[in-house]
A and B are shown apart, each in its own frame.
Chain A
Amino acid sequence: MAVLEILTLPHPLLKQEAAPVEVFDDELRAFIADLEETRRAGPAAIGIAATQVGRLQRLLIIDLSSKPKIPNHGHLVLINPEITHWEGFELGREGCLSVPHYTGNVIRAERIKLKAQDPHGAPLEFEMQGFEARAVQHEVDHLDGLLFIDRVVSRRTDLFQRKVYQKAGG
């Protein structure tokens, strides 16, 4: 296993859309192990996306197992994640391994439904809320070439000005 280099802004790969994972082999699983080691090596990151280490494939890891007070599904490897349903909206603070020394407020959907695959290609489905839903939305954004600073809003922003969560460009 190896700790991979985290790309930081303005690296051009961070702005690119990642391609779906099609081959679920040992090489993929070895990469997942490296990505997990990379997530754990830095400052306390709850999530990481393959794009952040320069591999443009739709793959992310989130781990909220250290936060028992927050509803969550623990440690998750999500391959080809697809958010199929958004509901509600919530303002929350985010930071990013790829944007050091900055945190900002971002509006995210409060509840989501999600389809994905596990490291062997088996289908997964989740319903998530709050902080965990935020984590997935932040990481899926990476796979679409978006950073949280593309969505950041002023701390004085009135949450109720926006009625629906919109995908960028939507």
Chain B
Amino acid sequence: MSAWNMLALVGEDKPGIVAQVTDVLYRHGWNLGEASMMRLGGNFSIMMMVQGTGGKEVLRPLIEPVAQALGLRFHVFPIHGGLHRHLVPNIQVRVNGADRAGIVAKVTGALAQQGFNILELDSDVAGTPERPIYIMCIQGFAEATVEALQAAVDAAKDTDIQVDVSPIETFIG
């Protein structure tokens, strides 16, 4: 099998984008691997692992017309790695507080110093335009204890930001 490429598409959201993009890939013999789509600020965004004959020189001209028709920007690049390389998170970190610059940098900086590897991250701004609230949920893997991680983020964060570090027990059966 040929190597994997990452295809990233971003643009104004509308129904049918995934169907049209994957149809082009399917009809030209390209394979899909892992993919993740998010709607961020009303924008459609997706990253997908794709595999097929030829590299981005082949893929680009395939995607170009459909991306143009849908008003999407896209990027294709070869990647290392492959399927079946999942890591299971063992720690969850929930953050919330008044929205202000530096929350993510301070919290994730403290976590990184403890060897915490972020595997999933979602953040959003809730509240009202006048009083925005920043909410973030991180899942990741660390050898460090929950107590050590909590102490590290507590020392790094501002006092009006709440950070809760808790274990994730994954049931296998």
In the complex the two chains form, what is the Cα distance from A131 to B171 in whole Å?
7
Residue ID in chain B nearest A47 by CB atoms: B173
Q: DSSP class of B's interface residues: helix, strand, loop or mixed?
A: loop
Residue ID in chain A nearest B173 by CB atoms: A47
Count how many chain A residues have C-beta atoms less than 8 Å from C-beta atoms of the other chain.
27
A102 CB within 8 Å of chain B: yes
| Given A95-B88, A103-B88, A138 and B168 contact (CB-CB distance below 8 Å) | no
Q: Are B86 and A134 in contact (CB under 8 A)?
A: no
* Chain B interface size, under 10 / 10 to 19 / 20 to 34 / 35 or more: 10 to 19
Question: 8 Å CB contacts to A: which residues of B60-99?
Answer: 83-84, 86, 88-89
Q: Are B86 and A103 in contact (CB under 8 A)?
A: yes
Residue ID in chain B nearest A156 by CB atoms: B122
**Shortest distance between the CB of B19 and any CB in chain A (Å):** 19
Most chain B beta carbons < 10 A, residue from A46, A103, A156: A103
Residues in A whose Cβ lies below 8 Å from that of B86: 101-103
Q: Are B169 and A96 in contact (CB under 8 A)?
A: no
**Shortest distance between the CB of B140 and any CB in chain A (Å):** 13
Of the residues A49, A101, A103, contact of B170 by C-beta under 8 Å = A103
Q: Are A93 and B171 in contact (CB under 8 A)?
A: yes
A94 CB within 8 Å of chain B: yes
Q: Are B172 and A92 in contact (CB under 8 A)?
A: no
Q: Are B169 and A131 in contact (CB under 8 A)?
A: yes
B158 CB within 8 Å of chain A: no
**Shortest distance between the CB of B45 and any CB in chain A (Å):** 14
In the complex the two chains form, what is the Cα distance from A153 to B168 in whole Å?
16
Question: 8 Å CB contacts to A: which residues of B149-173?
Answer: 168-173
**Shortest distance between the CB of B123 and any CB in chain A (Å):** 12
In the complex the two chains form, what is the Cα distance from A43 to B171 in whole Å?
12
Interface string of A54-88 (1 = CB under 8 A from B): 00000000100001001000000000000000000
Q: Are A95 and B172 in contact (CB under 8 A)?
A: yes
Q: Are B173 and A67 in contact (CB under 8 A)?
A: no
**Shortest distance between the CB of A60 and any CB in chain B (Å):** 8
In the complex the two chains form, what is the Cα distance from A67 to B171 in whole Å?
12
Of the residues B84, B120, B139, B171, contact of A101 by C-beta under 8 Å = B84
Residues in B whose Cβ lies below 8 Å from that of A45: 172-173
Question: 8 Å CB contacts to B: which residues of A24-63?
Answer: 43-49, 62
B residues near A, CB below 8 A?
83-84, 86, 88-89, 120, 122, 139, 168-173
Q: What are 25 pairs between A and B in contact, CB < 8 Å?
A: A43-B172, A46-B171, A46-B172, A46-B173, A47-B172, A47-B173, A48-B173, A67-B169, A92-B171, A93-B88, A93-B170, A94-B170, A94-B173, A95-B88, A95-B170, A95-B172, A96-B173, A101-B84, A101-B86, A103-B170, A131-B171, A135-B171, A135-B173, A138-B173, A156-B122
